[in-house]
Structure formats: C-alpha cells, structure tokens
Structure 1
Amino acid sequence: MSPTPSPSSSAARAPAAPALQAGSVDGAALASAQNALRFGNFTIGCGVMVVGGSLNDLVRSLQVSVAVGGQLISAGAVFMCIGAPLLAALLSGRDRRRLLQWTLAWYAAGHLLCALAPDYATLLPLRALTMLGAAVFTPQAAAAIGWMARPERRGRAITSIFLGWSLASVLGMPLHSYIGEAFGWRWAFGLVALLAALGAVWVGRALPDGVKPPALSLARWAEALTHPVLMAIVLVTAVAGAGQFTLFSYIAPYYRQVIGAGALETSVLFMVFGAWGLAGNLLLSRRVDRLGPARAVRLFLCGIALGQLVWPLGTSVPLLLLVMAPWAFGTFAINSAQQARLGAAAPALAPALLALNTSAIYLGQAIGAASGGAIVGTLGFDPLHQVSVGWTLLALALSVWAERRLRRDPDHV
C-alpha cells in the first residue's frame, strides 16, 4: 500500500488554485494570515534597520567613516525605491502566498551573504540587491491582506500588519545595536537571515492559495502616476521619510559621540523609541477607520515635527527619553496611515498606489540618509534636526493640500 501523500506534496502536483474573491477569507484564516504577514514585516523592518543599529561596529570593522557607512542605507533604499513599482508591475499576476514566501527566502539568503562579506566594496552591492526583497514584500503584503479583508475592515487589516515594523523598532533596532557592540555587526545581519527564513516558512503555511488581486493594466498605472492628488499623497510619504532619516540614519553615532551613551544605554534608547512607535501604531490600528487616515497623518506629522524641533534639548539619556516621545509616537504610524489613506482614496488603484507608496518610503530613506551623511561629513551632527524639521513641515503642507482637494472633490479620484 502506497503511503498517503502529504498535503505539501499533493499541493505541489495540484493545479493552481482559483483566485479568491475579494473579502472572501473567513475571520480565522484572515487572523492567521495577518500574524504571518506581521512577522514578515517585522523581519523586513529588522533588515532595513540593521545597518543603522550596528553602524558603530560596522564602520570600525570595515574601516570606513560614519558618512560612508551610512551610504549602505542610501544604496539599499534606492534599490527598494526603484524596485517596488517595477517589481509590482512585473509580478502582479503571481499568487501572493508563493510570491511573499520566496521574497523572504531571498531576504534570508541576501543577509547571510552580507554577513559573510569580506569588505565594504563587496557589502555595498550585496546590501542593495538584498533589499529588493523589502521592495516586494511590504506593498504586496498590504495588497494581499487588503484583498482578503472585507471592505469595512480593510483599513484596520492593512495597518495591523504594519505593527511588525513598530515591533522591529522596539526589539530589532536595540537588539542590532547590542549585538553589534557585543559580538559584531555580522551577527546582527545573521539574525535577520534567520528571521527571514522562519518568516518564509510561516507565510507559506498561513496564507491561502489563490490570493491574486487583479493585475493593473498600463493604462491604470498611468492613471495612478498622473493623478496630481494621489501623487501628492505619495510624495508626502517620501518627504516625511527624508525628514526622519536625515537624523535617524545617524542616531547610533549621535548617541555615542554627542550624548556619550554606552552600548546598553544606546540599546535602551532605541527600545524606548520603538516602544513609543509601537504605541502610536497600536492606537492608529484601532482608530484609523473612525478617525480617518488623512487626519491621522496630519496629527502624526505635527508630533514628528515637534519632536525633531526640540531634539537638541535631549542633552542626556534621561532627557532624550522624554524629548524623543512626540517624534517616535508617529514614526511608523504615519506610514501605516498613508497606506490606509491611499487604499481608501482609490481602491481600484490600490496595488499600484501601495507599491508607489512603498517606493516613496525608501526614496525618503535614501534622500534622508544621503543628505544626513553630507551634513555629518562637513558640519557635524548639530544641523541634522533643523533639516529634519524642514522636510517634515513640507510634508505637512503637502498633506493638508491633498486633504483639502479630496474633500472638495471626492468623486474625482
């Protein structure tokens, strides 16, 4: 008697599952998918932050300057920025379970190779190519969970999986900092590789087959790209990200060189920053459908600008723990709110808009890291917060303009 085939082997021989209808996934299956995608975003966030968290040891080990080491953030962000919309168009017809599973496998292999890189010249292209995994996972996870959820729960479903990013800030960033100082930056990269491998297995088990949001035609992509209000909302994400990463990219060296924080204190500062960010995202996920994502974005931008403005007052670790609160509270919630905002503004264009918004997140990181590196390399740390505030206020002005345009003509989108 032949052995009974396992579910995995049977699935491998079975024909492709039919596409699921939007909002047709039951509550238990949706919750399971949310947990897996939340962990996936946690892993993606850990990978994005690993350079910043372990930058002190990385620049010492590879014998490069802080400004040069920070360009690893810029290079990865550029690839994520360009890759998000291009790969979204190229891979739009794929089953999301397999796509997201293989994306995390790529992320795992890339971080393992980065951990083994012998020098900076080898690490730079490996880092850039690895971050293509982040370019795919974040928007496609949002599109997938948005497709599975019922319309009245779509905003909360999308924002809930972005809690993974907040958790990465609470746990990943301080852990990277501690591991980098105690064992070396290579072990921090290795941890991300392990998390990504676990995430690939989890996503493969938790997501149903047949999650295939409809592919967008070139005409629909052109509609999204040429819509002034929708593109203004996407630009808000990029400009706000530039404001945050002008300072945040170099925050570990800032803690050490300006505040005099040791390894444990730096880890605590990262953890508290992330805890505030998690609190903001938790509040948003519960209130976004009631408050409205556009209003949430406006409130969070005001808080971020306030935190950046008073940043120089944090002249010691205890003072920094207070000063960072308004900024940290909105640091990840704003991206979640922007995703929900775009998904609500034009549901039919959501796959394109979420990919473009993810691209904007990483464009902002690239601009911020590059401009911050130029400032640190020539003027030191002092002007960073001023430039950050300027970027954030510009994002706020753009956001208010787009909000007013949509309020005057909601049917035009």
Structure 2
Amino acid sequence: MTVTRTAEVSATGAAHGAAPPPAEPTPQPTPAAPVPVATARLAIFSLAIGAFGIGTAEFATMGLLPYIAAGFDASITEASHAVSLYAIGVVVGAPLIAALTARMERKRLLLGLALLFVIGSIGSTLAPSLPVMLASRFLTGLPHGAFLGIGAVVASTLVSPNRRATAMARVMLGLTVSNIVGVPAAAALGAQFGWRTAYGLVALIGMVTLVAVLCLVPRSAPAQAPSIRRELGTLKRPQVIITLVAGSIGFGGMFAVYTFISPTMTEVAGLPASAIPWVLACYGVGMTVGSLIAGPLVDRSIERSALLGISALGVVLLVLAALAQVPAVAVACVLLLGVAGSLFTTALQVRLLRESGDAPSVSAAMNHAAFNFANALGAILGAVVVDAGLGYRSPALLGAGLTVVGLAVMIFAVVSRRRAVRR
C-alpha cells in the first residue's frame, strides 16, 4: 500500500500545512544545477514509469493466483504466499534502505533499486519451483518503498517550490495508473498466455525504468540528513507507534479480501474469469477517486478522515461478506474498498509525518512497511480461514474484524493525543 498509492495529496494540503506524503520521504536532495522544464518533465515521467511497474508488480499477483497455483501444482493458499513474501520484502527493505542510504547520491541509488527490481522480476518469471518464485517475490519487494519515496522527493527538487506537491503527485500517479491499466493488463496476459508472461511484462517495465532513469534523471546529492539515532528515535514516540499499529492491523482486512479477489469473484459472485481484469480495474478507479477526495478531507481533519476511512472499510467488508453472491454488489464493494483505503492510508501518512517532527525518514518508511505488513498479515490470515474450509466469504468477515481492532487503536490514538494537547 506500498499503499503509497495514496501519496497524491493535493497542493491545497501543502498550503494548509499538511506535508504531501510520498510513500516514504527521504532527506531533500539538492540538484547539481538548475533543471530546464523539459528535462524535469522527462525525469518525472521516468520515475512515474518506475512507480507504474512497482504498482503492477505488487498487485498483479492477486489476479494470477489460480494460474500460479496450477502452474506449480499447488493450492491457491500456497500460491498466496507470493503476495505475503513480496509484502515482507517491502517491510524489510523500506526502513533498512532509508536508514542506510540517507547520504547516498540519489540517481545512483535509484538505478540500484531499479536493477534489484528487475532481477527479482526476472526471477519470478523464470522460477522453476514455487520456493524459488517466493524468494524472487521477496527480492522484488525490497526496493519498493525506497524507490517510491526517493523518486518522489527527487521529483520535487526538479521544479520550483510552488510545484513540488504536483511533481510528487505525478510520480505517484504511476501507482494509480498501474491499478487501472497495469494490473488488469497483467491479469489478462496471465489468463491468455500464462502467468509468467505477466511477470515478464513487469520485468520489461523495470528495464525501461532503468534506462529512463539512467538517461533522464539528473544527478543529485542528498542534503545533510538527520542522524540515524535521531531518525530511529522517532519510533519511540507513542503517537508514531500507535499510528503504525493502526495501519498494520486496520488495513489488513482489505488485503485479506484482495489477495483472494479472483476466486471470490469467480466462485462466489459467479463472474467469468475473463471479468477479473475489469474487477481489478474497478479497484484502481476506486483508489483514484479516494486519492482525489482524501486531500480536502485530510486538510480539514486528519483524525476524522482516518476514523472515517477505517470505518468505511469495515462496513464495505461486511456488505461484501453478506452479499458477495450478487455480482453487481461484489464489484461495487471492490471499488469502494479502493476509495475507503485511499482515504485511510492518506490520513495515516499525513498523521505520521506530523508526529515525526524533524526526523521523518525512517518513521515514514516504517509507515510504508506497516501497510505492507498489513498486506502480509491479510494474505496469511486469509489463507488460514480459507484452508479451514470457511469459503471465500470468510476473508471479508476476517477483514471486518481486523478493521474493528484497527478502529479501536485509532480511537485510542486520537483520544490520547487530545489529552496530551490539553496537558
């Protein structure tokens, strides 16, 4: 959730004092020389291509699970570990890379991250066995958060200060477009030509990103960054910890459903397999709508937006569990999950940046890791309830329970902060 996919907070938010939240902000790099407008546009476009590839790599697996399972003669729940291992890769890679590369030249780091993404994607494409495929998915997830965060911040330094939010949003637009175009296209390719073709497409996008960054992104050096001790110190702040816990648990419900979206739509809702790409596109449209409405709502109140987002997630999951057999309702619920999820993740991201103060890099990276922990948690627990014979409605019920826990954590966070402010 990545994630991330929610970083498109409007420039209006910046004007109201809410920093636009890239997937994981890093210390502000300084361009070596003034950048012409055309150069900046091409550089931002190349970074958006990378975001498009990352979004496709993260979510395409959900639509390919039946084909991956058949290809390795495994169960769908065994194949679903490809989702959780990618997410665990993000959980490990996001904070680790943010902490260890704060002073590294940005373009070189972006190239290294893109290369790692390509290697992991090729490994997924050519994997001779399920364990090798799972290891490749873990490797592909490692550069996910760092590339998105560094790319967004580098983009912001290529333009004038009053256009930084727009530049960052355009990089993150690649994530949104990936869920509308890339993920459905990968699912369609997988259904028609085999699941390896879809991962081959992801690897190709990664190669294009590598060449584009090499040719189009100017070199830049990071400014003096806060010390690692200060960065890690933010993780001791109660409000930072509570925010991360709320995201880790509350968003797991959505991933419990989305991991098994393909069999749920075909076996419960009765849709043909050929409709799955369109269902995935609906989720992408929901994310886009959610990112558009999140900015103004979060500008008005971070806390109310977070509570509204997670409450809406719970309601939609309950409706899906009850009425998944009705195709129109099931598809509408997928769209609404995208809307509510974008609102919730945007609110938590801005909240975390506010609570992190002047050392946001590691805690913001942990925010990205938290949502991917939710991805892994939802996929694993969803597999448990399906393996228990409870059917493909059960992940939605499980997800509703997770959102209740996340809502309780979020309420505690809001109440405790208000008390602290009064004191």
Q: TM-score, normalised by structure 2?
A: 0.83
Q: Tell me what 2:51 maps to.
A: 41
Taking the aligned partners of 1:149 and 1:293, their CA distance within structure 2 comes to 27
Asked if 1:388 is matched to 2:399, the reply is yes
Contact 2:87 2:141 in 1 (8 A): yes
Greater CA drift, 134-143 or 153-162: 153-162
Gaps of 5+ in 2: 1-27
* Matched AA of 1:308: L
Gaps of 5+ in 1: 1-17
Q: Tell me what 2:335 maps to.
A: 325
Question: What fraction of aligned residue pairs are identical, expressed as a percent?
Answer: 25
* Matched AA of 1:52: M
Equivalent of residue 409 in structure 2, options 391, 398, 408: 398
Change (3 A) 1:396 1:205: farther
Q: Tell me what 2:30 maps to.
A: 20
What RMSD in Å do the two structures reach over aligned CA positions? 3.0
Taking the aligned partners of 1:239 and 1:208, their CA distance within structure 2 comes to 39
Taking the aligned partners of 2:103 and 2:184, their CA distance within structure 1 comes to 38
* Matched AA of 2:253: G
Taking the aligned partners of 1:108 and 1:332, their CA distance within structure 2 comes to 27
Taking the aligned partners of 1:150 and 1:386, their CA distance within structure 2 comes to 48
Q: Tell me what 1:266 maps to.
A: 276
Q: Tell me what 2:139 maps to.
A: 129
Equivalent of residue 103 in structure 2, options 89, 93, 114: 93
CA deviation map 1:78-100 (0-9, x unaligned):
22212211121111211222212
Change (3 A) 1:323 1:79: closer
Equivalent of residue 186 in structure 1, options 174, 190, 196: 196
Contact 1:303 1:329 in 2 (8 A): no
Change (3 A) 1:27 1:178: same
Q: TM-score, normalised by structure 1?
A: 0.85
Q: Tell me what 1:14 maps to.
A: none
Contact 1:148 1:211 in 2 (8 A): no
SS at structure 2 position matched to 1:20: strand
Q: Tell me what 2:18 maps to.
A: none
Taking the aligned partners of 1:31 and 1:293, their CA distance within structure 2 comes to 31
CA deviation map 1:239-296 (0-9, x unaligned):
13311111111111211222222222111111112111112113335x3673344443
SS at structure 2 position matched to 1:310: helix
Contact 1:88 1:355 in 2 (8 A): yes
Superposition pairs for residues 256-335 of structure 1, below 5 Å?
256-285=266-295, 287=296, 290-312=299-321, 313-335=323-345
Contact 1:46 1:192 in 2 (8 A): yes
Asked if 1:69 is matched to 2:79, the reply is yes
Taking the aligned partners of 1:406 and 1:177, their CA distance within structure 2 comes to 44
Change (3 A) 1:19 1:88: closer
* Matched AA of 1:197: M
* Matched AA of 2:404: L
Greater CA drift, 32-41 or 323-332: 32-41
Contact 1:220 1:349 in 2 (8 A): yes
Taking the aligned partners of 2:166 and 2:58, their CA distance within structure 1 comes to 24
Change (3 A) 1:95 1:293: farther
Contact 1:52 1:252 in 2 (8 A): yes
Taking the aligned partners of 1:30 and 1:338, their CA distance within structure 2 comes to 30
* Matched AA of 1:386: L
Superposition pairs for residues 180-259 of structure 1, below 5 Å?
180-259=190-269
Change (3 A) 1:176 1:404: same
Contact 1:178 1:267 in 2 (8 A): yes
Taking the aligned partners of 2:241 and 2:159, their CA distance within structure 1 comes to 25
Change (3 A) 1:148 1:128: same
Contact 1:92 1:215 in 2 (8 A): yes
**Residue correspondences, number:** 393
Q: Tell me what 1:4 maps to.
A: none
Q: Tell me what 1:176 maps to.
A: 186
Greater CA drift, 212-221 or 45-54: 212-221
Q: Tell me what 2:10 maps to.
A: none
Deviation of 1:228 after TM superposition, in Å, equals 0.6
Change (3 A) 1:152 1:305: farther
Asked if 1:167 is matched to 2:177, the reply is yes
